[in-house]
Amino acid sequence: MLATLALPCRLAVPRRLAATLGLILGAALVGGILDVGGVQATGHLVSQKGRAFQPGSVAIQRGETIVIVNDDSDLLHHLYVESEIFSFDSGDQAPGSRTAVTFPAAGTFQVLCGIHPKMKLNVRVN
């Protein structure tokens, strides 16, 4: 006989299934599935804080998305990428804002801040 767990929608789910679902959801969160304004990214989160990107470099696969968060409480940032095969411009980013950047082509790119010229994020896209 299986023990069951009652859910708010009045479905009875076996405890093992509930535990398995909990592990799957937990792994998805730990694995870094992010939903930012309807954009999903798979584990690539970059912080802008103290006029620096953290981490300063990242390697991803073509078509993946990086979510860049302005973690400064009082500074605007402005992301951009300029290359022959890919360009991006975020416009001004207010403190606390999140910007998703999807890299559609393989190559090495620099993400720069238009306000703080020493800020550089190196992105290698395989």
pLDDT digits (tens, 9 = 90+) for 44-79: 899 999 999 999 999 999 999 999 999 999 999 999
Query: 41 or 62, which is more confident?
Result: 62
* pLDDT tens string 85-111: 989 999 999 999 999 999 999 999 999
Please say whether the dihedral angle defined by the alpha carbons of residues 85, 81, 52 and 102, taken in this order, is positive or negative: negative
Task: Give dist(CA 80, CA 121) in Å, integer.
Answer: 10
| Strands 57-60 vs 120-125: parallel, antiparallel or unpaired | parallel
